[in-house]
């Protein structure tokens, strides 16, 4: 399955500089080809994630919709391939 990683949500927090009060997390899906890269193309910062999870003080969390769109498209492509294999038998 797909692995998720939390990053700062730039839309909700205003970036790394503004993490004091209402910290928001954005969950990306990690690329299988490159574990430092999210499916949406976002570079993942490991230290940020570890610090966020250790602190455990996220105010809000949401999933990255571009990442989820890639997952959905990949799963549909796999379904289509399985369907084609079954049809060929
Ligand atoms: Zn993403």
Q: CB under 8 Å to 3, separation ≥6 — which residues? A: 29, 30, 35
Residue 88 has pLDDT above 80, yes or no: no
The residue that leads in pLDDT, 13 or 79, is: 79
pLDDT in tens, 38-87: 999 988 876 666 676 666 666 678 899 999 999 999 999 988 888 887 77
What pLDDT score does 64 carry? Answer: 94
CA of 80 to the centre of ligand 1 (A): 24
What pLDDT score does 73 carry? Answer: 94
CA of 4 to the centre of ligand 1 (A): 9
CA of 86 to the centre of ligand 1 (A): 33
Domain encompassing residue 64? 4-88
Q: What's the domain count of the chain?
A: 1
What pLDDT score does 86 carry? Answer: 76
């Amino acid at each position: 399955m797909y692995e998720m990683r939390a990053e700062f949500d730039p839309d909700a927090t205003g970036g790394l500089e503004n993490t004091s009060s209402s910290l928001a997390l954005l969950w990306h899906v990690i690329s299988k080809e490159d574990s430092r890269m999210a499916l949406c193309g976002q570079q993942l910062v490991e230290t940020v994630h570890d610090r966020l999870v250790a602190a455990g003080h996220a105010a809000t969390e949401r999933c990255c919709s571009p990442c989820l769109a890639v997952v959905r498209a990949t799963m549909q492509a796999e379904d289509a391939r399985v369907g084609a294999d079954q049809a060929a038998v």
